[in-house]
Amino acid sequence: MSYKVIDVAGDVGIRAEGKTLNECFINSALALYSLITELNQVEQVEIREVELSEETLEELIIGFLNELIFIFDTYGFIGSKINLEIENNKLKAKIYGEKFNPEKHERKLLVKAATYHNLILKKENDHWITEIIFDI
Amino acid sequence: MPKIEGTIRLDPYRIKVPKGFVSGMRTDGIIFVDETLEQELELDSVRQVANVATLPGIVGNSLAMPDIHTGYGFAIGGVAAFDVEEGIISPGGVGYDINCGVRLLRSNFTKEEVEPKIRELVDLLYAYIPSGVGSTGKIKLSAKDSEEVVTKGALWAVQNGYGEAEDLQAIESNGCLEGANPDLISKKAYERGRDQLGTLGSGNHFLEVQYVDEVYEPKIAEKMGLFKGQITVMIHSGSRGFGHQICDDYVKVMIQAARKYGIELPDKELACAPFKSQEGQQYFSAMKGAANYAWANRQCLMHWTREVFLRLFKITPKDLGMRVVFDVAHNIAKEEFHIVNGKRKKLIIHRKGATRAFPKGHPELPDIYKEIGQPVIIPGDMGRVSFVLVGEEKAMKETFGSTCHGAGRLLSRHQAIKQARGRSIKQEMAERGIIVKAAGKETLAEEMPDAYKDVSNVVDVVHNAGIARKVVRLRPIGVIKG
């Protein structure tokens, strides 16, 4: 697994990595979902598509994660597998998952938003790394 | 030696973060902490107080209350005033949970009357009040309803059968900020908020059944309808996904706006626009809509609380006597008049994790509190105590009529879960005489008392500094959490 939860006072952060930018984005999204529930309980029975275009990659990753938070908070949809393409700060993603059911899925954190606070998104030794702090 | 190098102790209750602590500061920062709480200061949060001091049009000092901890952009516990002509407005100075706040209800019951039924009461409250991740409310808002919630706030709830008209008198700004334009709120925010009105949320939000265990100011307490041994209910919630979406939408707008107006940002979460600019005014209007949604939300939560008490104890509303003591916002920006260098000035006050604390005689107070000052509701953690304070004149001079908002976290959520491993927090709480029920599996560990500073220490600082006075102390006997 190429992501982990990191410690911050008050809120919660994640660190995700990937061999490619796409992989790094995917892992950051899975990390977000893992904060909300236990990922192995989420079946892939429904597909949601997200398309997004921003001025910078930083804005793109925050925009993408906030879109996933919106979709969860509004429609109860939670994913456990993601396919995604990024080109010229444009992102197209397919998210496979299902509707959250408190009787089946563990309730973990209610994530309000992904923030720019201490945001990291960088390439290091052929690896993409991101750190994102969420408002809980 | 100061805990944070470069800060200077001014008196027993305040330290200064001098200009130059970070580059570009236009004014000093002032943090209200005594020597004990100073030891818990984080460098990041002090830097955030300093960063706010770099923003254009800041008036007075960049302030922080004793429950300060690191936020995003602005510190939690921060108060900052900006000139309405030359200053800025920032969504980061309000927070994602716009008008997160606290409402306190009084009752005619005593602790002895309620305690024998506390388990049933907690179960019933939990059944009536939707809470936790993935929960939706009992109210489904139509497009027209949503717009009315935005413009009317708590009044919308009263008009739709949730509570009584007299409840509105004891809410900050009567539960409605004027000037919320429904057209400035995104479709996404409306969608997200459609079925979340009347839900508690999760995290640090809660509903507590408490009793008054100490009265410090008997005359003021009496005016608030409070007496020793009495049952009270405290509700802590905000504008839910509706407010989070509005904040998210406008952080995006403000990042663009800051570029456009050439405002240098030491941190992107400080994204802002001149208050008088189109972007500034649009955010302010949308923020008011979210604030109004939050007041409607707490009004609905209170209505169901009353219903639960009436149903369980089979008494009349008159005998129950459940009235609002007060309802305060602790994440909000408001236009207020303050005296600056001897002149009355209109300012835009940001309170992020800080509570308004107006003294007696202030024109914005409801008649019932004109003679004593505004009640300030300060929740503690679920195992210790909470407080009711009253605003003091000194707050107008030193903190733009503001005080603290709660205990402030001590441990990260992760650390709390680690420390709670192998323990049953539910059992530990029961041993202290507190019955808790939470939706999330890890909520109790994250929210355990050890995860927070002792609110008594926080309140002592604002009391001793003279910006708000202790009136009563409340102790929980039943808690529901998300």
Per-residue pLDDT reduced to its tens digit, B284-326: 999 999 999 999 999 999 999 999 999 999 999 999 999 999 9
DSSP state of B244: H
**Cα separation, B160 vs B144, whole angstroms:** 13
Q: Looking at this predicted complex, what is its ipTM? A: 0.93
Q: How far is A83 from chain B (nearest CA, A)?
A: 24
**Cα separation, B481 vs B391, whole angstroms:** 29
Percent of chain B with pLDDT strictly greater than 90 = 93
**Cα separation, B202 vs B199, whole angstroms:** 9
| CA B55, chain centre distance (Å) | 24
- Cβ-based interface (< 8 Å): residues of A facing B: 5, 7-12, 36-37, 58-59, 63, 66, 69-70, 73-74, 76, 100-102, 105-110, 112-113, 115-117, 119, 133, 135-136
What is the CATH number assigned to the segment(s) B8-481?
3.90.1860.10
pLDDT surpasses 80 at B221: yes
Q: Does B223 touch chain A (CB under 8 A)?
A: no
pLDDT of residue A1: 60
**Cα separation, B429 vs B392, whole angstroms:** 35
Domains and CATH numbers, chain A: 3-135 (3.55.10.10)
pLDDT of residue A119: 94
Put simply, the answer to whether B133 touches A115 (Cβ < 8 Å) is no
Q: How far is B271 from chain A (nearest CA, A)?
A: 10
A8, A108, A117: residue with CB nearest B442:
A108
Domain parsing of chain B, residue ranges: 8-481
pLDDT digits (tens, 9 = 90+) for B364-413: 999 999 999 999 999 999 999 999 999 999 999 999 999 999 998 888 88
Contact A106, A84 (CB under 8 A): no
pLDDT digits (tens, 9 = 90+) for B421-450: 999 999 999 999 999 999 887 889 999 999
DSSP string, B371-439: TT--EEEE---TTS-EEEEEE-HHHHHHSSSEE--S--B-S-HHHHHHHHTT--HHHHHHHTT-EEEES
pLDDT of residue A7: 82
pLDDT of residue B434: 97
